[in-house]
Amino acid sequence: MLGSITGLGERGRGSRWTTTVVAYVIASAVGGLAVGAALGLVGAALAPPPTVGLFLMAGLIGAGLVLDLGPRGLALPTIRRQVNEAWLHRYRPWVYGTGFGFQLGAGMVTVVVGSAVYGAFAAAFLAGSLVGGAVIGAAFGFLRAATIFPAGRIRRPAQLGLVDARLRAWDGASRRIALACEVALIATCVAAALT
């Protein structure tokens, strides 16, 4: 996605990066909001009491942490579907920006590479309310969309390679940070449940 919607790519298609990205970010937040609200609504009827929910959330994050580490060939369950890049040449920028954004914000309709996606939507369910689930989902969708912002400055092909190299250089560190955040969330859930 980052390599598809760049300042360079949009200019090459006769489009404005800003137009596409505004549609993308808004749609991603709306996609997350929609899924989060639905899960929060279901959670209002089915979610366990808050203390049990916190322990359950800690357990789910822990299971996700194990799957993220991938011991003994364990892997995170996912589908192998990506957004359709043919849309870039078939539709107007705001249309493919909206379509890509909504799908990525909805979280589980494209490839899931980290358990945090499942964790966010488990939190929306365990929030046990339409509003709580919607807020969690919208925040997830917005933050997932924010990963596109580094691509805005790409104006030349060489810059695309530099941004890609920088992101790859951060891959190991960002993975360690994500794992540390998961551990911190487990501790926070357990501590909150015990108080």
- Give the model confidence (pLDDT) of 128-145 as tens digits: 999 999 999 999 999 999
Residue 22 lies in a domain: yes
The mean-pLDDT minimum among 23-27, 29-33, 81-85 falls in 81-85
Residue 168 lies in a domain: yes
Domain coverage including residue 117: 7-194
pTM, entire model:
0.90
Residue 88 lies in a domain: yes
Residue 1 lies in a domain: no
- Give the model confidence (pLDDT) of 64-122 as tens digits: 999 999 888 888 898 888 888 889 989 999 999 999 999 999 999 999 989 999 999 99
Q: How many domains does the chain have?
A: 1
Instruction: Write the DSSP string, the chain.
Output: -TTTSSHHHHHHTT--HHHHHHHHHHHHHHHHHHHHHHHHHHHHHHPPPHHHHHHHHHHHHHHHHHHHH-GGG-----------TTHHHHS-HHHHHHHHHHHHHH-SSS---STHHHHHHHHHHHHTSHHHHHHHHHHHHHHHHGGGGGGGG--SHHHHHHHHHHHHHTHHHHHHHHHHHHHHHHHHHHHHHH-
Residue 111 lies in a domain: yes
Residue 95 lies in a domain: yes
